[in-house]
A and B are shown apart, each in its own frame.
Chain A
Amino acid sequence: MQLRLEPRALQSRAMRYASPLIAAALTLVMGFILFAALGKNPPAAFYAFFIAPINSVGGLAELFLKASPLVLIALGLAVGFRSNIWNIGAEGQLTLGAIAAGWVALDPAFADSPLLLAAMIVAGILGGMAWAAIPAFLRTRFNANEILVSLMLTYVAQLLVNWLVFGPWRDPQGFNTPQSALFADGALFPILIANTRLNASVLLTLAAVVVSWVFLEKSFLGYKTRVVGLSSAAARYAGFSEKRTVWVGMLAGGAAAGLAGVGEVAGPLGQLLPTISPGYGFTAIIVAFVGRLDPVGIVFAGLLMSLLYLGGDSAQISMGLPAAAAALFQGALLFFLLGADVLVNFRVRVIRAVPLDQPRAAL
């Protein structure tokens, strides 16, 4: 007996929705084995990981607060991923967005302006777009691979913010700690629920969900994006510009990441630090895939991934599990998803070994 993969004549719609669930289930199984192997009581570890963090209003607020940048960036990346534009430098674009917003926030000229926050948002979006424009330009003009260029620029962006907080923007009252001055109140998003950190940037994310759904599902430009992703030869045949798609895909990701960067520095951080994000730009890649590049799916995937972040922290405190377990789960989830997707295009058939040349009775 053996198992064999057989191409399906048509994609299975049911499997498209089922495979993220299969992947999540496999990840849980892996977690169970991992916890058991580390000598932890699996149910207790699961409680610490998945229930304890969201057992309170504050916990739920944290869930949404962390999900917000993930969802936002994943929405932007999905535009590019649909057309096979692989922007994996969102982390760097987020950092540039944060730097640009910080530049506005720290400029005394803006200090008392009622438009300070709005200016920071615009600056952050532009900063992220500018950073994404570099790989877009190099790809369209010189054919340079956007995966590698956008990733290299992430390291450059991190060194840049590092230099700023160690150097020119270091807080003069900060006892030499590498951080900028704290932003003024006018440079921060208003808090939505008292005594939590959940702020108004979540509303921008919700708006982005609606906008991107309309763009991806209902607009002609979104259709063109999909065509380029499915077949560049068909796109050329139809006369859809591949270069324009590269620009749209990269800039959408850059704008979303830049805005997410504003959400961090004008939200929970309130200043510039050597590290702006705990890897949101990379985790958002997983969110985009697990969400099937679909805006609604991305919201659910973002919440799940946010829960893994919170669970990692909680399990570290209460059970002494390494916080990196969260990253492990996130990577594993994507792997399981990609594997489970085989069922969308193939069916598994069990074959019992019957020799072909078995003598036929009639002969």
Chain B
Amino acid sequence: MAARNDNPARLELRGICKSYPAVVANDGIDLRVMPGEIHAVLGENGAGKSTLMKIIYGVVKPDAGEILWHGARIDVASPAHARELGIGMVFQHFSLFETLTVAENVALVLPGNPGLDDVAARIGGVSERYGLTVDPRALVHSLSIGERQRVEIIRCLLQDLQLLIMDEPTSVLTPQAATRLFETLRQVAGEGCSVLYISHKLDEIKALCHRATVLRAAKVTGTCEPQRETAASMARLMIGRDLPKCNHPEAAGDGEERLVVNGLSLVCDDPFGTDLADIRLAVRSGEILGIAGISGNGQQELLAALSGERSTPDDDAIHVCGIAVARLGAAARRRLGLCFIPEERLGRAAIPSMSLADNALLTAHAQRMVALGMLRSDAITDFARRCIDDFDVKCAGPHAEAKSLSGGNLQKFIVGREVMQHPKVLVVSQPTWGVDVGAAVSIRQSLIELRNAGAAVLVVSEDLEELFEICDRIAVMANGRLSHAKRVTETDVEEIGVWMSGLWPDQVAGPVSAPLVESLHAT
């Protein structure tokens, strides 16, 4: 005990507890972070990492436990108080204001009432020192995701920073940009600032962090020195067993072309969106095509155009099973055998306050659920019950509300609902985003089995590991353009990472457009 007091940790948590009505998020968490240490908080989705960080940053109040700052007990009353103490946080879903400028965004968290010119000058200073270029006058919605993260980091560095919290920062970065971020973080730590690094990516933590605290199901399961561990040993701490893998036999690759996109260009009607430029792709029966890329590079727009949520004037641009569908709506495309699983589970793929049975009706109504315009409630309940059984959905039954399910179980239900309609083409976005490892493996296996049964599957994902695990070919999306696809056996994470910043071979050969060059410098 005496030794501790001589050399107090910068931050120490003792027995932190926090529960929400339906779930315990933190259960007796202990954590020690030393000055200048890069400390990982490792755990899978839902383990309670984000809640713990929000407690440290004063956004959420703990139910019990204490926080020690430089050895002294404190109560972090608010984020403003946290910033006064020297704690900064970069959120996973950024806390920036899109219609304000970079300087205004920064001014909002600075104490006092600094003028915008003064703020801009200070941003310039920090940018230079840490190599984080950004234009203070730019409106945030015009920035790329990587640039927005830079604004968040600068916003923290402008204070007298002693602890920087980074919540899953690399999910929005290319592998190369992640490497550069690590250099910045090492520089920050080298100057004596502590870093709390939240992640579920084992190799990143091995590469960057000095120590790691591992969370599982709201509790600490251990601490370790990542450099001395293997990915497998950390995985066991994180999920309590070995990382499961999907069974992924080689695709035949000679099926008919089921989904063809033929020079699709689309001006986005959302001023914050991305325009699509000359997209070409083809997905064959019996294969999974993956589209990699950082979010916000046109994936949402492409998916809406494919699903029919946004119709396209050029009739020839999209074909499903040989039929031109670009001007058809989502319902008509589903009748042709194209099913779609969007990224947002609650509020798009499912309605939170409706029962699972009513949510089955949302897209599977053609499965004899409607007769003469009237609902057949027996058929609806029956379909939901089969889906729950066949896809191992843990819930209170077909009449449970969608929002009462965990992310993983709801996603299993949604995937099941679409798979049970025997789609000829399935388009999936971020199939395992925010899902626990067990559910993720089962969802990936469902997609592979659907492929084995002859469906054409298109997967859009930010998670490169996932794409390499389940896809047969991979293409990359950047700046509203799509690269040609490569067989997974003929490429690797490194090459796809380079492509993710917009540099794929046939483009380097030709003249590179000005905005592309800019974004390259920026990344």
Q: B-contacting residues of A (Cβ < 8 Å)?
A: 6-11, 218-221, 223, 227, 230-231, 233-234, 236-241, 347, 355-357, 360
Contact with A along B52-91 (1 / 0, CB 8 A): 0000000001101110000001110000000000000000
Tell me whether A220 and B354 are in contact in the complex, defined as CB-CB below 8 angstroms, given that A10-B404, A236-B330, A241-B329 are known contacts.
Answer: no
Q: Would you call the interface of chain A mostly helix, strand, loop, or mixed?
A: mixed
A7, A239, A241, A357 — which one has the most chain B CB atoms within 10 A of its CB?
A239
Tell me whether A227 and B21 are in contact in the complex, defined as CB-CB below 8 angstroms, given that A11-B353, A236-B330 are known contacts.
Answer: no
Q: Would you call B362 an interface residue if the criterion is a C-beta within 8 Å of the partner chain's C-beta atoms?
A: yes
Q: Would you call B391 an interface residue if the criterion is a C-beta within 8 Å of the partner chain's C-beta atoms?
A: no
Partner of B66, one of A10, A230, A357: A357
Tell me whether A356 and B344 are in contact in the complex, defined as CB-CB below 8 angstroms, given that A220-B374, A231-B351 are known contacts.
Answer: no
| B330:A237 contact, CB within 8 angstroms | yes
| B66:A223 contact, CB within 8 angstroms | no
Q: Chain A nearest CB: distance from B468 CB in Å? A: 28
Minimal Cβ-Cβ distance residue in A for B358: A223
Minimal Cβ-Cβ distance residue in B for A363: B14
Minimal Cβ-Cβ distance residue in A for B1: A363
| A237:B342 contact, CB within 8 angstroms | yes
| B330:A239 contact, CB within 8 angstroms | yes
A residues in contact with B375, CB < 8 Å: 218-220, 223
Minimal Cβ-Cβ distance residue in B for A354: B64
A residues in contact with B309, CB < 8 Å: 236-237, 239
Q: Chain B nearest CB: distance from A186 CB in Å? A: 37
Q: Chain A nearest CB: distance from B430 CB in Å? A: 15
A residues in contact with B340, CB < 8 Å: 237
Q: Would you call B501 an interface residue if the criterion is a C-beta within 8 Å of the partner chain's C-beta atoms?
A: no
Contact with A along B401-430 (1 / 0, CB 8 A): 100100000000000000000000000000
A residues in contact with B347, CB < 8 Å: 231, 233-234
Instruction: Write 10 A-B pairs (CB below 8 A) sorted by A numbering.
Output: A7-B21, A8-B21, A9-B21, A220-B365, A227-B354, A234-B351, A234-B362, A237-B330, A356-B75, A357-B66
A residues in contact with B373, CB < 8 Å: 219-221
Distance in angstroms between the alpha carbons of A8 and B363 in the assembled complex: 28
Q: Chain A nearest CB: distance from B16 CB in Å? A: 10
| B374:A219 contact, CB within 8 angstroms | yes
| B331:A239 contact, CB within 8 angstroms | yes
Tell me whether A230 and B21 are in contact in the complex, defined as CB-CB below 8 angstroms, given that A223-B361, A357-B73 are known contacts.
Answer: no
Distance in angstroms between the alpha carbons of A236 and B349 in the assembled complex: 10
Interface size class of B (residues with CB under 8 A): 35 or more
| B62:A10 contact, CB within 8 angstroms | no
Q: A-contacting residues of B (Cβ < 8 Å)?
A: 21-22, 61-62, 64-66, 73-75, 307-309, 329-334, 340, 342, 344, 347-354, 358, 361-363, 365, 370, 373-375, 401, 404
| B66:A356 contact, CB within 8 angstroms | yes
Partner of A238, one of B61, B65, B331: B331
| A356:B62 contact, CB within 8 angstroms | yes
What number of A-B contacts does a CB cutoff of 8 Å give?
Answer: 82
Q: Chain B nearest CB: distance from A66 CB in Å? A: 34
Minimal Cβ-Cβ distance residue in B for A230: B351
Minimal Cβ-Cβ distance residue in B for A240: B331
B residues in contact with A9, CB < 8 Å: 21-22, 404
| A234:B353 contact, CB within 8 angstroms | no
Tell me whether A238 and B401 are in contact in the complex, defined as CB-CB below 8 angstroms, given that A11-B353, A356-B64 are known contacts.
Answer: no
A residues in contact with B332, CB < 8 Å: 239
B residues in contact with A355, CB < 8 Å: 75
Distance in angstroms between the alpha carbons of A223 and B364 in the assembled complex: 13
| A356:B351 contact, CB within 8 angstroms | no
Tell me whether A10 and B401 are in contact in the complex, defined as CB-CB below 8 angstroms, given that A220-B373, A238-B362 are known contacts.
Answer: yes
Distance in angstroms between the alpha carbons of A238 and B307 in the assembled complex: 10
B residues in contact with A237, CB < 8 Å: 307, 309, 330, 340, 342, 348-349, 362-363
| A230:B62 contact, CB within 8 angstroms | no
Tell me whether A6 and B21 are in contact in the complex, defined as CB-CB below 8 angstroms, given that A220-B373, A237-B348 are known contacts.
Answer: yes
| A357:B21 contact, CB within 8 angstroms | no
| B330:A230 contact, CB within 8 angstroms | no
Q: Chain B nearest CB: distance from A343 CB in Å? A: 14
| B73:A238 contact, CB within 8 angstroms | no
Minimal Cβ-Cβ distance residue in A for B404: A10
Distance in angstroms between the alpha carbons of A223 and B358 in the assembled complex: 9
Distance in angstroms between the alpha carbons of A218 and B374 in the assembled complex: 6
Tell me whether A234 and B21 are in contact in the complex, defined as CB-CB below 8 angstroms, given that A240-B331, A241-B329, A356-B64 are known contacts.
Answer: no
Q: Chain A nearest CB: distance from B165 CB in Å? A: 20
| B21:A231 contact, CB within 8 angstroms | no
Q: Chain B nearest CB: distance from A247 CB in Å? A: 16
Q: Chain B nearest CB: distance from A212 CB in Å? A: 15
A237-B307, A237-B342, A239-B330 known; 7 other A-B pairs, CB under 8 Å?
Answer: A220-B375, A231-B347, A233-B348, A237-B330, A239-B309, A239-B334, A357-B75
A residues in contact with B374, CB < 8 Å: 218-220
Q: Which 10 A-B pairs have the closest CB atoms?
A: A239-B331, A239-B330, A9-B22, A233-B348, A9-B21, A236-B309, A220-B370, A238-B362, A231-B347, A230-B351
Partner of A231, one of B307, B348, B365: B348
A residues in contact with B331, CB < 8 Å: 238-240
| B344:A233 contact, CB within 8 angstroms | yes
Distance in angstroms between the alpha carbons of A227 and B347 in the assembled complex: 10
